[in-house]
């Protein structure tokens, strides 16, 4: 039995790969799309050996084409691993930090990842050093330990959520290697079409597939991708034993969503640049955080390691928390909701979450730019900014 999805000619561009990857073998009357397999168990006799499907917690044929596509997009040598959520993937990746080890993490990491690391470190599993990820000296000092123990893992997220700080991925991956630390990069905000962490020196790439990859705000799923055989084996074992597996329907939906990733990213990135420029000169906005603006501190670094600047931007609203809430309340097209990366534009005041770090301004709104017409998006923002200023 073959678990391998069909292959296609090498060196297709990524916007073709999202369409072509993970298709069933081309045989007469074969389905063009991979089917959903709903079975919790597989026929087997004799000894169970590595690679057998055996049971639904170990494998499911519906995962395979998605895992193949994610691996191809990230430029990995091995199939990816899908998990029940981005945080299930975070949990598996954090399990690689040895007991008594040291984890270095951005102080503005995705909140759920930060909370998990803080809780585990609070239990004494490992030491957590949080850093300003945009400051190379700060990160390198935390990695080497300045007389204390050197780091075992460097967690990277770039741009960060929600402060949109840009990490110098090449330099930091090299510095982590020099002290023998594993590098995990959360690439959710950028997608593999915009940033390729494995090429920049990361050992593992993490995705909340929930966001851009699935792209329609109708599925929760995560993934880890690596070219390292040993790391992949450990992560696969973690998934099988801890049980954070993807449902077959979710995996199927994610691959269906992935087919349009290039179009969605192209459109939303272009709109994000346009909206950021207009917001940047609006009186109702104190500050725009977006690496796509020439004036942004992360702009040059982003240009050197990304193809575009992503489609998340943040604004600090003049008039503080009250004005920010009023703005959100006055919007008609933008949906007030957490999450990001879907076709529909979402907006959220991040500090409404009690867990959000206090260093995130109370008047900060995070905008996830969708694929609607950019003038409609702008008009709605402009009328809500007016309403908030009244």
Ligand X SMILES: *Cc1c(COP(=O)(O)O)cnc(C)c1O
22, 65, 110, 134: residue in contact with ligand X (rule CB under 6 A): 110
17, 134, 220, 347: residue in contact with ligand X (rule CB under 6 A): 220
The dihedral formed by the CA atoms of 39, 45, 48 and 49, expressed in degrees to the nearest 10: -100
d(CA 183, CA 104): 10
59, 71, 120, 161: residue in contact with ligand X (rule CB under 6 A): 161
Nearer to ligand X, 163 or 324 (CB): 163
91, 195, 202, 210: residue in contact with ligand X (rule CB under 6 A): 210
Q: Is 87 a residue that touches ligand X (CB under 6 A)?
A: yes
Q: Reply yes or no on whether 110 is catalytic.
A: yes
CA dist list (Å): 281 to 268, 274, 285, 316, 387:
20, 12, 8, 13, 17
Q: Is 384 a residue that touches ligand X (CB under 6 A)?
A: no
Catalytic residue among 23, 196, 211, 267: 211
Enumerate residues 6+ apart whose C-beta is below 8 A from 174: 201
Site for ligand X in 140-159 (CB under 6 A): 157
53, 211, 264, 267: residue in contact with ligand X (rule CB under 6 A): 211
222, 291, 308, 370: residue in contact with ligand X (rule CB under 6 A): 222
Nearer to ligand X, 126 or 189 (CB): 189
Catalytic residue among 110, 196, 264, 296: 110
Which residue number places its CB atom closest to ligand X?
86
Binding part of the chain for ligand X, among 4-12, 181-189, 267-275, 277-285 by CB under 6 A, reads 181-189
Catalytic residue among 57, 174, 259, 277: 57
Q: Reply yes or no on whether 29 is catalytic.
A: no
Q: Reply yes or no on whether 26 is catalytic.
A: no
Strands (E), the chain: 81-83, 101-106, 126-131, 153-157, 182-186, 204-208, 222-226, 285-289, 312-317, 335-336, 346-349, 364-368
Q: Is 290 a residue that touches ligand X (CB under 6 A)?
A: no
- Length of the chain in terms of residues written: 390
* Minimum CB–partner distance for residue 104 and ligand X (Å): 17
d(CA 334, CA 343): 11
Q: Is 366 a residue that touches ligand X (CB under 6 A)?
A: no
Tokens 């193949």 -> residue: 68
Strands (E), 69-198: 81-83, 101-106, 126-131, 153-157, 182-186
Nearer to ligand X, 268 or 384 (CB): 268
Q: DSSP letter for 350, please.
A: G
Nearer to ligand X, 14 or 222 (CB): 222
Helix (H, G, I), strand (E, B) or coil at 329: helix
Q: Reply yes or no on whether 58 is catalytic.
A: no
Binding part of the chain for ligand X, among 12-20, 108-116, 143-151, 366-374 by CB under 6 A, reads 108-116
d(CA 136, CA 166): 11
**What is the maximum span of the chain, computed from C-alpha positions, in angstroms?**
75
% helix / strand / coil in the chain, to the nearest 5? 35, 15, 50
Nearer to ligand X, 71 or 161 (CB): 161
d(CA 87, CA 113): 7
67, 165, 186, 203: residue in contact with ligand X (rule CB under 6 A): 186
71, 120, 191, 208: residue in contact with ligand X (rule CB under 6 A): 208
d(CA 213, CA 341): 8
- Residue 83: beta bridge partners? 222
The residues annotated with a catalytic role in the active site are 57, 110, 186, 211
Chain residues binding ligand X by CB under 6 A are 85-87, 110, 112-113, 157, 161, 186, 188-189, 208, 210-211, 220, 222
């Amino acid at each position: 039995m073959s678990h391998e999805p069909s292959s296609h000619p090498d060196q297709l561009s990524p916007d073709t790969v999202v369409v072509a990857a993970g298709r069933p073998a081309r045989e007469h009357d074969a389905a063009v799309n991979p089917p959903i397999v709903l079975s919790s168990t597989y026929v087997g006799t004799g000894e169970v050996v590595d690679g057998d499907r055996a049971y639904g917690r170990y494998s499911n044929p519906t995962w395979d084409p998605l895992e193949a596509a994610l691996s191809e997009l990230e430029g990995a040598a091995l199939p990816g691993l899908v998990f029940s959520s981005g945080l299930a993937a975070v949990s598996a990746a954090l399990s690689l930090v040895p007991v008594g080890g040291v984890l270095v993490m951005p102080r503005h990491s995705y909140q759920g990842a930060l909370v998990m690391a803080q809780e585990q470190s609070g239990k004494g599993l490992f030491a957590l050093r949080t850093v300003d990820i945009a400051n190379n000296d700060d990160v390198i000092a935390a990695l080497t330990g300045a007389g204390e123990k050197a780091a075992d893992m460097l967690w990277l997220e770039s741009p960060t959520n929600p402060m949109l700080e840009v990490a110098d991925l090449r330099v930091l991956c090299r510095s982590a290697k020099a002290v023998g630390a594993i590098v995990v990069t959360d690439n959710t905000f950028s997608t593999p079409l915009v940033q390729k962490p494995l090429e920049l020196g990361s050992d593992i790439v993490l995705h909340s597939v929930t966001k851009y990859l699935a792209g329609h705000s109708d599925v929760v799923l995560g993934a880890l991708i690596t070219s390292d055989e040993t790391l992949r084996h450990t992560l696969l074992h973690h998934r099988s034993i801890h049980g954070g597996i993807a449902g077959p329907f979710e995996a199927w939906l994610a691959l269906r969503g992935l087919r349009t990733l290039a179009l969605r990213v192209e459109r939303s990135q272009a709109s994000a640049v346009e909206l950021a420029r207009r917001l940047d000169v609006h009186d109702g906005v104190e500050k725009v955080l977006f690496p796509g603006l020439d004036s942004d501190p992360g702009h040059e670094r982003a240009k050197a390691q990304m193809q575009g600047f992503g489609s998340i931007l943040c604004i600090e609203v003049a008039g503080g928390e009250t004005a920010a809430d009023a703005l959100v309340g006055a919007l008609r097209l933008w949906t007030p909701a957490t999450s990001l990366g879907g076709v529909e534009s979402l907006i959220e005041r991040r500090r409404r979450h009690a867990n959000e770090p206090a260093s995130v301004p109370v008047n900060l709104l995070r905008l996830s730019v969708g694929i609607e017409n950019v003038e409609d998006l702008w008009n709605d923002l402009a009328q809500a900014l007016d309403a908030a200023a009244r």
